[in-house]
């Protein structure tokens, strides 16, 4: 199978092709068109030409098209999640029940929102000030390889619904479902050129896109290193940067132990641990630490690891051999740094014959981790948990904040005052109290410090996809 670029509603062949590989089997799934300067120029030109008529399309009509696209995705969940699972190794139970259905929700939600964009008025004795919100123009949307379809639609939906046009560049490691998204958008009746999809590698396709002078806004999700590079390359553009994380999951001795345990397991091991909001540093109060560690390891050892297409599988393979080597490198480092390996480790886990060539690593738990160790500071982006004991509330806050990152955080306590105090004190874009990460599409999603800048979701998406203009009328 060959996957081509989608530019101005047409399939455009590549000058070269790269392979996308099933991380569970190493089978080549497709040859994908490689993009560079030339394809980016063509895609941006198409998006620029499509912008004026699309921006002038009445919002209710754009909303109808967004809803139609949402319906097409919802009708295609089985096929899309199968493809997403093959391309990423994310278990089908998660792509089929959560991630792909949420992509359809993104279009339904922003269909509702785009007809409700309102403004502000600031009347004075002499002037009537009011705001208009205009679409920005051509937007560059860049996605990572983990949960690629959900992330792409989280960008495409507000971008298009608010009247912008887009060039979408997916990760070279997982481009398949986005290619299908481009086709579904055309099928829904979205005019050619409004959504263009260019495939390729970061340096070849991503960099010319973010540098392009006709690109007015960048919505980027990916690593902190790439985010920093893009900010340097982009020049004066609007941008939102959704970057890496090393989120603290703080459990006090008065927490609901069983619920906290369930959520802690979920937040580090779901999506293969390849999750930006993973609760990868689990801070546990000293008095319950030993019991928690024992139960957590028991649960980690019971997680079924295997063929991601099997709906009983909880943990699938890492995205690529290179990423597997990185995760294994951190496991090796953890032992050298003096953390206690409680389960998992470097031994190749047993998996079914069909997926024996997969990039598997066993769910791994390190105990007695010192927060200054590299395994506690760096984003590992795999199923590797660090358990860190703490004595009291001030120490929990200090450790939680002793990180370059600030994406998500989790606090477990039955003490209501403490819940509010700690939630306020943690330096992160999001804090979930007595809860795992539950996404409400209205909430501001994003991080602080090295986890990024800007927020998306609900009216927060105005920040990147709409340009406010003040009109002052003399009375």
The only residue of 203, 302, 356, 469 in contact with ligand NAD, by rule CB under 6 A: 203
Output the six-digit token pair for 57: 């399309």
Nearest to 144 by CA among 101, 87, 105: 87
Interaction between residue 222 and ligand NAD (CB under 6 A): yes
Q: Tell me the sheet residues that pair with 127.
A: 474
Output the six-digit token pair for 302: 């019971």
Are the C-beta atoms of 166 and 159 separated by less than 8 Å?
yes
Output the six-digit token pair for 51: 């912008």
Interaction between residue 430 and ligand NAD (CB under 6 A): no
DSSP string, 264-276: HHHHHHGGGG--T
The only residue of 20, 146, 436, 437 in contact with ligand NAD, by rule CB under 6 A: 146
Beta-carbon contacts of 262 under 8 Å, excluding residues fewer than 6 positions away, are none
Give min distance, CB of 147 to ligand NAD, in A.
7
Give min distance, CB of 339 to ligand NAD, in A.
22
Q: In this structure, are strands 364-367 and 340-343 parallel, antiparallel, or unpaired? A: antiparallel
The only residue of 72, 160, 210, 362 in contact with ligand NAD, by rule CB under 6 A: 210
Of 165 and 174, CB closest to ligand NAD: 174
Are the C-beta atoms of 334 and 373 separated by less than 8 Å?
yes
Residue 56 CA to residue 208 CA, distance in Å, equals: 28
Rg (CA), the chain: 23
Are the C-beta atoms of 122 and 130 separated by less than 8 Å?
yes
How many residues belong to the site for ligand NAD (CB under 6 A)? 32
Of 230 and 265, CB closest to ligand NAD: 230
Of 87 and 307, CB closest to ligand NAD: 87
Give min distance, CB of 142 to ligand NAD, in A.
5
Looking at 9-17, 121-129, 163-171, 252-260, which segment touches ligand NAD (CB under 6 A)?
163-171
The only residue of 14, 96, 144, 383 in contact with ligand NAD, by rule CB under 6 A: 144
Q: How far apart are the first and last CA of the chain?
A: 65
The only residue of 87, 172, 307, 463 in contact with ligand NAD, by rule CB under 6 A: 172
391-410 binders of ligand NAD (CB under 6 A): 407
Give min distance, CB of 80 to ligand NAD, in A.
18
Helices (H), 95-191: 100-114, 148-161, 176-188
The only residue of 381, 390, 410, 465 in contact with ligand NAD, by rule CB under 6 A: 381
Output the six-digit token pair for 240: 């939102």
3-62 binders of ligand NAD (CB under 6 A): none
Give min distance, CB of 125 to ligand NAD, in A.
45
Active site residue ranges: 242
Give min distance, CB of 94 to ligand NAD, in A.
14
Residue 117 CA to residue 200 CA, distance in Å, equals: 35
Interaction between residue 359 and ligand NAD (CB under 6 A): no
Residue 202 CA to residue 215 CA, distance in Å, equals: 16
CA 437 to chain centre: 13
Give min distance, CB of 277 to ligand NAD, in A.
7
Of 233 and 254, CB closest to ligand NAD: 233
Of 244 and 308, CB closest to ligand NAD: 244
223-252 binders of ligand NAD (CB under 6 A): 223, 226, 229-230, 242-245
Nearest to 258 by CA among 200, 316, 299, 308: 299
Beta-carbon contacts of 37 under 8 Å, excluding residues fewer than 6 positions away, are 204, 208
Of 347 and 440, CB closest to ligand NAD: 440
Of 415 and 453, CB closest to ligand NAD: 453
Beta-carbon contacts of 224 under 8 Å, excluding residues fewer than 6 positions away, are 243, 244, 379, 404, 405, 450, 451, 452
Residues in touch with ligand NAD (CB under 6 A): 142-146, 151, 169-172, 201-203, 206-207, 210, 221-223, 226, 229-230, 242-245, 276, 379, 381, 407, 447, 452
């Amino acid at each position: 199978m060959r996957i081509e670029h989608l530019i101005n509603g047409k399939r455009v062949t590549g000058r070269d092709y790269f392979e996308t590989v099933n991380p569970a089997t190493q089978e080549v799934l497709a040859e994908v068109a490689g993009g560079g300067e030339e394809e980016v120029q063509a895609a941006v030109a198409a998006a620029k030409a499509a912008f004026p008529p699309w921006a002038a399309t009445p919002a209710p009509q754009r909303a109808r098209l967004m809803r139609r696209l949402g319906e097409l995705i919802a009708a295609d969940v089985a096929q899309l999640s199968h493809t997403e699972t093959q391309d990423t190794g994310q278990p089908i139970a998660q792509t089929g029940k959560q991630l792909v259905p949420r992509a359809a929700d993104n279009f339904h939600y922003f269909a509702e929102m785009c007809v409700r964009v309102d403004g502000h008025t600031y009347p004075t004795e002499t002037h009537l000030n009011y705001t208009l919100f205009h679409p920005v123009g051509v937007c560059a949307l860049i996605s990572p390889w983990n949960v690629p379809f959900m992330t792409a639609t989280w960008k495409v939906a507000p971008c298009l619904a608010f009247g912008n046009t887009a060039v979408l560049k997916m990760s070279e490691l997982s481009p398949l479902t986005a290619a299908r998204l481009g086709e579904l958008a055309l099928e829904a009746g979205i005019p050619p050129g409004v959504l263009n999809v260019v495939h390729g590698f970061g340096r070849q396709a991503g960099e010319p896109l973010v540098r392009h002078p006709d690109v007015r806004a960048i919505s980027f999700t990916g690593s902190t290193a790439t985010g920093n590079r893009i900010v340097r390359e982009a020049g004066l553009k609007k941008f939102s940067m959704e970057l890496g994380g090393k989120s603290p999951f703080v459990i006090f001795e008065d927490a609901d132990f069983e619920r906290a345990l369930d959520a802690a397991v979920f937040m580090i091991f779901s999506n293969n641990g390849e999750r930006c909001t993973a609760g990868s540093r689990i801070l546990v109060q000293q008095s319950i630490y030993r019991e928690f560690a024992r139960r957590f390891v028991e649960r980690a050892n019971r997680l079924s690891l295997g063929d991601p297409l099997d709906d009983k599988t909880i943990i699938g393979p890492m995205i690529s051999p290179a990423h597997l080597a990185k995760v294994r490198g951190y496991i090796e480092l953890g032992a050298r740094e003096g953390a206690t390996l409680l389960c998992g480790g470097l031994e190749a886990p047993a998996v079914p014959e069909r997926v024996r060539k997969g990039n598997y690593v066993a769910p791994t738990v390190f105990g007695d981790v010192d927060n200054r160790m590299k395994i506690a500071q760096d984003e590992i982006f795999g199923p590797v948990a660090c358990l860190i004991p703490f004595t009291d509330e001030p120490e929990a806050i200090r450790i939680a904040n002793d990180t370059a990152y600030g994406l998500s955080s989790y606090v477990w306590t039955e003490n209501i005052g403490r819940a509010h105090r700690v939630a306020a004190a943690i330096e992160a874009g999001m804090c979930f109290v007595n809860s795992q990460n539950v996404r409400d599409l209205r909430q501001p999603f994003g991080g602080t410090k090295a986890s990024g800048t800007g927020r998306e979701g609900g009216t927060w998406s105005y920040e990147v996809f709409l340009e406010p203009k003040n009109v002052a009328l003399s009375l």
